[in-house]
Structure 1
């Protein structure tokens, strides 16, 4: 029964995560409620995210929605930011991490109402004084805390006037990059419960493909409202978790 539940969790969390980010705040609490040890749950999340993120990126790359030239330079920025964030996280309390997460998500939520971007643009991703530091900064956040990383990146790409489907592919590549090192670490540590992880992974890959297909049909003017709803829910859950 747990395998079926984990498969459904993977489908739901990754579909939502592909469209608007925030999938980790669905899958991780659900796995903990099923009784998985915390390190095994986080490890399962990282392994499944690594595989599902690459599958959705590769699907969009194969359909020529995204090119290697404009996408692969973001990998070192995401990796470098993630490593930096991991180092900083070791020096901060969990309460401080929650405060940072809420402030960043609230800032993104507020700017979504005044930002010029709306995912209807046709600009390629280029290294600029905004894109480079932005990707590195979000990478730091991912290494510091993580939940909401994909949502913040979508806000960044919206500001950069990049089309929504292309933005989804870029976010998934960045997520693959940031999860890769963490997944390897959890595998080597022996924390992975493989039968449960594989069930979650199967659901995540299914959800990633479902999310990509929905994204290709989603009208750009619907994306910002969806992002705002997800962001508001992320903020509420983070505050509730910290209070409890």
Structure 2
């Protein structure tokens, strides 16, 4: 029964995470409530995210919604950003990281009302003075803290005039890139409880495929309201953790 619950958690969290980011709001607390040790729960999420993120990216790549020529540079930038964030994490106090997360998420929420991005554009993803530092900066944030990485990236791609479906594909590739190194470390240090992790992974892959197919049908005018709800939920979670 426990494995079925974890499988369902994976479906729910990754479906939401694919559409708007913030899937970790569901999966990580749920795994902890089921009694999984913290490091094992984080490791299970990293392993499942690695596989599920690539599966949704590959679906959009296979159906020619995105091209490798646009996407390839996301991988080294996200990996390097995540490594930079991991390096800084040991030097920045936890309470300062919480403040940084609250500032970034609040800024993203406010700019969603005044920004030009509407996810209806047909722009191409190129390396420029906004996309490169933006992706690198979010990669640092992911390595430092994590929750909200996908949501922040969706805001960035919306600002860059990228259509919603293609933005989802780019976010999933970035998530794959940032998670693969962390997943390898958790595996190497023996933190993975494989039966639970595999149940979560199967649910996550299912959720990723469900999420990307919902995204294919989602009208652009509904994207920002969904993102705003996810952002507010993230802000509340971070604030609660900050005052505990």
TM-score between both structures, scaled by the size of structure 1: 0.99
User: Which residue in 2 is equivalent to 1:74?
Assistant: 74
Q: Deviations over 1:101-143 (max 9, x none)?
A: 1110000000000101100000010001000000000000000
Q: What whole-Å deviation, never above 9, does each CA across 1:147-203 have from its counterpart, x for those lacking one?
A: 000000000000000000000000000000000000000001000000000000000
Matched with 1:112 is 112
Q: How does 1:23-62 map to 2 (within 5 A)?
A: 23-62=23-62
Partners in 2 of 1:136 and 1:155 — Cα distance?
14
Show the counterpart of 2:169. Answer: 169
Q: Secondary structure at the match of 1:112?
A: helix
Aligned counterparts of 1:13 and 1:242: Cα–Cα separation in 2 = 23
Q: Counterparts of 2:241 and 2:138 in 1: how far apart (Å)? A: 22
Q: What residue is the counterpart of 2:234 in the other structure?
A: 234
State the alpha-carbon separation in 2 of the partners of residues 195 and 86 from structure 1: 28
**Separation of aligned partners in 1, 2:215 and 2:102:** 26
Aligned position for 2:7: 7
- Structure 1 stretches lacking a partner, 5+ long: none
Runs ≥4 in structure 1, deviation > 6 angstroms?
none
Aligned to 1:21: 21
Provide the rounded CA distance (Å) in 2 between the counterparts of 1:206 and 1:122.
Answer: 28
Q: Supply the distance in 1 between the matched residues of 2:202 and 2:17 (Cα, whole angstroms).
A: 15
Tell me the alpha carbon deviations over residues 197-218 of structure 1, each in whole angstroms, 9 at most, x when there is no partner: 0000000000000000000000
Q: Which residue is 1:65 aligned to? A: 65
Question: 1 CA distance for matches of 2:86 and 2:123?
Answer: 32
In 1, the alpha carbon distance for the partners of 2:22 and 2:159 equals 19
Report the TM-score, using the length of structure 2 for normalisation.
Answer: 0.99
> How far 1:26 sits from its partner (Å)?
1.1
Q: CA RMSD in A?
A: 0.6
SS at match of 1:169: helix
Aligned match of 1:154 = 154
Secondary structure of 2:45's aligned partner: helix
The alpha-carbon deviation at position 242 of structure 1 amounts to: 2.0
Aligned 1:128-139 pairs, distance under 5 A: 128-139=128-139
**Residues of 2 paired with 1:151 and 1:111: CA distance?**
13
Between the two proteins, the alignment pairs up a number of residues equal to: 244
Structure 2 unaligned spans of 5+ = none
Structure 1 SS opposite 2:103: helix
